[in-house]
Structure 1
């Protein structure tokens, strides 16, 4: 056991990961001043120039736009690596920018409090910057569903998958994954203007999400209501369009028999989505329970990531 601890301590990649997690929790970067905000704005400017009303042209433009955004970013990040003063600090900075735990955690805590006080105005205001759907008419039931879905996917893509790609490809891999997720969010096909244009970014993100979100979902399935959760997942997972998010949402909702999914309004248009999970409408207490569930499973995920890094980089 002591040898294992020494290996973990001596592995710089493990220390970088833990350092980024601690720094991100202690000194979070506000969403409005995060460098990703500039990336999102540039993505919107690019889509305004090249998006088309013709579906085939829009789809082609979407793929070319993804390449135009990501390939230069990958080239610059790789080119900078041998030039930096300390590679460890470079990796730490990239992972720190890729992670988004504290903001997601703050959202669920503040949203739970607003819903507990039945303050729909505050809850809508908190949720609006995080989603593409319209929030102005959401009831407490709708806010509970949207809040639960948003939090689970934010943690899945802002922490779980980021750490997975960090383990495999280092800080550059984690950062590029986060850039891809942001493109998928900005160009979401759920909005009519990006219905064809945004499919490229969404499909690429779905491929990158597939393994980490499914692996994490297996962690969630363990323990309370494991048998019922597995049965529900087997029945419902094909009803959601993206495999990774479907596993994460269904496995988490099944733990507390929560009802997720259902119709949502995007750009004044009603989108019909499958209903997943159980029959209980998410309330403030359920959001707190989801937060506790994610924290307990993330602890295991982080420890497992530490061991994986040691295996990869030191051959434990």
Structure 2
């Protein structure tokens, strides 16, 4: 037992992962002081400079080049700095700490539950408007429930599960680069007319990075009650949702909780028709609490499984 503990300590990967989670849960970085806020600002400023062509192919090429221009120097610097730090484990700890975002999803859930419980549509719209690219000013209580549920599901999945997955594959650099690409996708969302097709390359890159961790997490969510029904719904409904990773997660949570997701969404005043997925019950404040509980318990299961895999892999190494 002592030798195994010494081996885990010497490698440090597990200690870094659990240490980053502990630090984040105790002392989360405020959004206004987070480096990713500056990253989004830089991305939007760059888009203003280069996303000026009305030609479809030129705009798409500009988006691809903008992605390369932003990410390439970041990756080079992150890789170059790692051998220079006193302890590589502390370097990974810092990058993973910057990449994780569990607390803000908890705070979002509490705010939405309080607002929907008191039928305060104005507050719910304001809270969601700070997190979404879509228009929230005209959302009804039904629309707020659906949008809130989708935001909570994707927030936990991308900012916790996918970050941890890419940390396990590529260390702190992989986790941080994934989060940077996710933030670029949010800044250049092609659902907004001014970023279509400028943001398509970034969305497709993120879709590839999301595919494996999100599908694994969706399987994790489906385990338990109604597993066969959830898997059947994924097989039937996933084909009508544009992104393969998010579709599995949204459908698995929707069917597990029997809540309705998807449907029309308005971006920059334009109504986008989306498929209706999940169950048939309109999400309410109660359902948002149930979703958070479901996701949290599945995250704990994911952490245990990933820790066991990492321990076995590093012990074998």
Counterparts of 2:64 and 2:300, CA distance in 1: 36
1:115·1:283 contact (CA, 8 Å) conserved in 2?
yes
Residue equivalent to 1:64: 65
Which deviations, in whole Å up to 9, do the C-alpha atoms of 1:183-227 show, x marking residues without a partner?
Answer: 111101100011100001000000000000000000001001212
Is 2:264 the partner of 1:268? Answer: no
Which stretch of the first structure deviates more once superposed, 132-141 or 6-15? 6-15
CA distance in 2, matches of 1:256, 1:310: 33
Deviations 1:84-122 (A, max 9, x none): 122111110000000011111111122112111111111
The residue that corresponds to 2:167 in the other structure is: 166
5 Å-filtered alignment, 1:166-245, equals 166-245=167-246
2:31 corresponds in structure 1 to 31
Q: Is 1:8–1:307's contact at 8 Å kept on the other side of the alignment?
A: no
Kindly indicate whether the alpha-carbon contact (under 8 Å) linking 2:222 and 2:252 is maintained by their aligned counterparts in 1: yes
Cα deviations by residue, 1:249-271 (Å, 9 ceiling, x for unpaired):
00001012110000011001101
- For residues 275 and 3 of structure 2, the distance between their equivalents in structure 1, rounded to whole angstroms, comes to 50
Matched residues in 1 for 2:8 and 2:254: separation? Answer: 34
Residue 11 of structure 1, CA deviation: 4.0
1:14 aligns with 2:14: yes
Q: Distance in 1 between matches of 2:148 and 2:154?
A: 10
Q: What SS does the corresponding residue of 1:60 show, helix, strand or coil?
A: helix
User: Where does residue 121 of structure 1 map in the other structure?
Assistant: 122
Partner of 1:303: 304
- Secondary structure at 1:130 match in 2: coil
Structure 1 residue 232: deviation in Å? 1.0
Q: CA 1:9 to 1:298, structure 2 compared with 1: closer, same or farther past 3 Å?
A: farther
Q: Is the 8 A contact 2:163 2:178 kept in 1?
A: yes
CA distance in 2, matches of 1:5, 1:297: 26
State the partner residue of 2:313: 312
Unaligned runs of 5+ in 1: none
SS in 1 for 2:271: strand
Alignment of structure 1 residues 98-109 onto 2, 5 Å: 98-109=99-110
Structure 1 residues 9 and 114, CA gap change in structure 2 (3 angstroms): farther
- In structure 1, how many angstroms separate the alpha carbons of the residues matched to 2:59 and 2:312? 43
Aligned counterpart, 1:152: 153
Where structure 2 has 5 or more consecutive residues not aligned to the other structure, the ranges are: none
Provide the rounded CA distance (Å) in 1 between the counterparts of 2:154 and 2:181.
14
Q: Contact 1:7–1:310 at 8 Å: present in 2 too?
A: no
Structure 1 match to 2:260 = 259
* Distance in 2 (alpha carbons) for counterparts of 1:312 and 1:55: 46
Q: What's the offset of the Cα at 1:32?
A: 2.3
1:140 offset after TM fit, Å?
1.0
Structure-2 change in CA distance of 1:139 and 1:13 (3 Å): same
Once residues 263 and 129 of structure 1 are traced to their aligned partners in structure 2, the CA distance between those partners, rounded to angstroms, is: 19
Match status 1:42 vs 2:28: no
Q: What is the TM-score with the length of structure 2 in the denominator?
A: 0.96
In 1, distance between residues paired with 2:158 and 2:49? 28
